[in-house]
Structure 1
Amino acid sequence: MDDKDFLADRFEAHRRHLRAVAYRMLGSLSEADDAVQEAWLRLSRSDSAEIENLGGWLTTVVGRVCLNMLRTRTARREEPLDVHVPDPIISSPDAITPEHEALLADSVGLALLVVLETLTPAERLAFVLHDLFAVPFDEIAPIVGRTSTAARKLASRARSRVQGAAPAPDADLAQQREVVDAFLAAARAGDFDALLAVLDPDVVVRTDGGALRPSVMRRGAKEVAGGAVIFAQLAEATRPALVNGVPGAVAISDGRPISLAAFTVARGKVVELNILADPDRLRRLDLAFLED
């Protein structure tokens, strides 16, 4: 084995971790893969003999790459961010695939990723690296161009936003599925009262329709229940799925998926529902388990 092959093997040992970092930073699987590839290119051009801690070095590089991507994304955005549902991690309802385990190691649900989208790039980096991956602030500071104290404040501000806006799901996955199944059954039956029984009074629903369809945010149990009844009439069937490690569902019409829903169930009620209805993004999802 030559030096390049040896370096490539060492890099591959860190790939899943790096992809997990990049996914939390960017909320996009394709961009996460781009960031990881850029880290490899930078490593291949570096003197690896001078790198004492390869894992730490690669995590820092990926952090820098993601920060630049977030800043570019923010600079190009001319209007406030519309409803946007980050890329979901989808698995069979029976089990999370090994490929997805690293991505979901800390149960990073879509609800959390939606909140991370509202942070500044520097806040997001500080929170993700420190709170989710235990990177010291002394190592985060040079990435964001701040002091260690300032980096700590960035993470603290982000943490406050996350704790106040990202609901923590119930621990029992089976009970979560029971609530989701009850919601879906009530929606298909057009049973408004049964829907209200499983919805939190302050439930929030985000629907990301992409560039060609309207994106919608609904709040409150009555408004959400009304929308659920109408939408259920469009879907011929729904198939259960795990979406970022929690119960979800794929709605199907004419043999193709028309939406993917990720539920957040807390205290036995649906408190948040994030729906991806962008046909372009739905076509890129791996839904092979639906054919089983």
Structure 2
Amino acid sequence: MPLQPVATAREVVDEFGRTWIEVDLARFRMLKDSNPESGMYLLIAAPAGGLGGFAALAEGPPGKSPSIILNSFEELPSNHPTPGTASLTEIVPATDAAGAVYALDLAIRRGAAGEPGAAIITPSDYGTPTPGQFLIVNTAGTGFALGTPKLGGVHHPAEISSAPSGTTGSPFTVAVVNIEEGTYANDFKLMPQGECRVEGAGPSLRVNFVARLNANDGPVIGICRGVGGTSKERLNISGCSGTDDSLSVINGGEGATVFFNTERQSGSLNSYSALDDYISCSVLVTQA
């Protein structure tokens, strides 16, 4: 069996005057005056004529995080010759209870202006546009669509009926104007207008021409009161004369139906007629 190598140690002084303990077998060194209580040492080995070092450090307790506060900030023009700078200055030293506090002085150059971009959308992205249209929220409320602003308009009845000869009942509906829901997005005002010629069968007869909202006996939003005592009388409705003006205002998005009636007021023994040839009516819509 071969003999185990025998290692010997000797003291060596380096060029800096430090004394080392050197093991000649593998040439391990450690400082003679190192403190074993420090928890670390330096080991140098040169098995092939080289020099290697290994350090071991004892793990200490977690440190306290430092704090940084902004002391000054300067924004320079993008073409300024001065480069951006940043510096930290300790203003409160670290303690066992808290980390250090540093003041930050910062100077940066703002970014240069970008190149003009292209348009994000074009009218043709939403179909085939026509002049005067604009983008509105679609009926589902999930996107946009081309639309035409509806600020008002005139609505006509689909048909007009005669109050035949011998009519005695009241009211008698001669026309209905329907405005669909969603026609106007904003609050709008109804202004009924119309003309009717009533022919009575007796001198005591009096007939009104009336516009009512949402039912043939609903609120009055337009009226022309007959005079009576005449065989033929022309009645004209214009606007909401004689009625509460607020009744004719409709909430945006809602619909409305206007009933045009002839309504006998006196002359219970007398009948009347109102021929469709002499009746015209419509509803003007304006912004409320």
Question: Which TM-score applies when normalising by structure 2?
Answer: 0.18
Between 1 and 2, higher relative CO (CA 8 Å, sep ≥ 6) is seen in 1
**TM-score, normalising length from structure 1?**
0.18
Q: By percentage of residues, which structure has more helix?
A: 1
Highest CA radius of gyration, 1 or 2? Answer: 2
Q: Which has the higher strand share?
A: 2
